[in-house]
Amino acid sequence: MGQTITEKIFSEHAGREVKAGEIVRVDIDMIIGNDITTPISIRAFEESGAKEMARPDNFCIVMDHYIPAKDIASANQAKISRDFAYKHDMKYFFDEKDMGIEHALLPEKGLVIPGDVIIGADSHTCTHGALGAFSTGMGSTDLSFAMITGGNWFKVPETIKVELSGKPAKHIYGKDIILELIRLIGVDGALYKAIEFTGDTLQYLGMADRFSISNMVIEAGAKNGIFAVDDITTEYLEERAKINGGLRAEPKIHYSDDDASYCQVIKIDVANLSPVIAYPFLPSNGKSMEQAVEDNLKIDQVMIGSCTNGRIEDLRIAAKIMEGKRVARHTRMIVTPATQKILLQAQKEGLMEILINAGAVVSNPTCGACLGGYMGILGDNERCVATTNRNFVGRMGARTSEIYLANSAVAASSAIAGYLVDPR
């Protein structure tokens, strides 16, 4: 019996052939921490008596949730990571001078490599599977164990195969595909499973779409999401290498065997997919755009950003829709580029001028409003259309507020109308 991509990555790291269900101890290629979760890892590291990290150049800290600090507590929290990074002279420490949301910044820097095993104390670490890596979220103490030993233990997950067919219609993006999948299987439909995306639709999905899809597999309970490396991946990696003077390491590319074993196969007809809107209070509460329009929902705030949809492609989509128009009087709009480079590129292309002239507020690259951190907290009973990844109760502010997850075109069109509308 053949192997899946995920099984092959673990086999390569374990030095022997492994199958789903096995418990393996492997080295970690990249550990990712952020300003919220890393202080816990640092405390556990120091309480263990460890003096040095086992693989210091395989640990990256990105300050992205409450940066610049919003209050004394967040400032002191950030100081813990800064002091640790300076003490250990960390090679990969990204603060305000070169900031961005971790799951957008690392690929941009050429630090995510196909075939890697990556962990992070953030559930959306699974984003990096878009580049053919095994990438998953773990607890802060799991990170400290990897900091001390250089590795960690894993149960090799079974794999669900998702076959995507057809060319996406206008204003159908990766966000709609993943919301449709979560709608189909539910928030626990892929518990501790790998989700591998295949099919002829992939030729139409750029890296932004793939990052968005991989980012949200955790919302179905998955351990990781993964795409096989193809020409689109290779072109992206070559561009990163050119910009950054090379990649962190040589890619190790794996493909699933024809006779690989899958625990489930799910087929999605992308050609006939409408934009999908996830209603409160679960990402699985998906409705078609046609259903959503009938509800005539008045919108108080729109947010375009996050590690899910804060890339240059999202800003281009929004600017094209909003050029020469104006955000509705009763609606606020926040645009949060995922990294400084995305922000600069958007300025270079004139996108920021269009968005600001339309009435949007542009924030610095941060997680910000997505997790209800700051710069966009929702008040009582307010509704928000967001390109983020979660719409739980109280996720972005008041417990009575509502979040509707959507793609960037839906968000931009809804900001102009002041109601949830179809961008097509």
Domains of the chain: which residue ranges? 5-245+257-268, 276-417
Check residue 1 and give its pLDDT.
81
One CATH from 3.30.360.10, 3.30.499.10, 3.40.50.10800, 3.40.1390.10 for 276-417: 3.30.499.10
Q: Would you tell me how many other CB atoms lie within 10 Å of the CB of residue 265? A: 11
- Name 334's bridge partners: 303, 361
Check residue 388 and give its pLDDT.
96
Residues in the chain predicted with pLDDT less than 70, given as ranges, are none
pLDDT in tens, 31-43: 999 999 999 999 9
Check residue 54 and give its pLDDT.
95
One CATH from 2.130.10.10, 3.30.499.10, 3.90.76.10, 3.40.50.720 for 5-245+257-268: 3.30.499.10
Q: Alpha-carbon torsion 61, 62, 65, 71, what sign?
A: positive
pTM above 0.85, yes or no: yes
- Name 27's bridge partners: 151
Q: Are 3 and 263 in contact (CB under 8 A)?
A: no
pLDDT in tens, 362-383: 999 999 899 888 889 999 999 9
Check residue 373 and give its pLDDT.
86
The answer to whether domain 5-245+257-268 and domain 276-417 are alike in fold is: yes
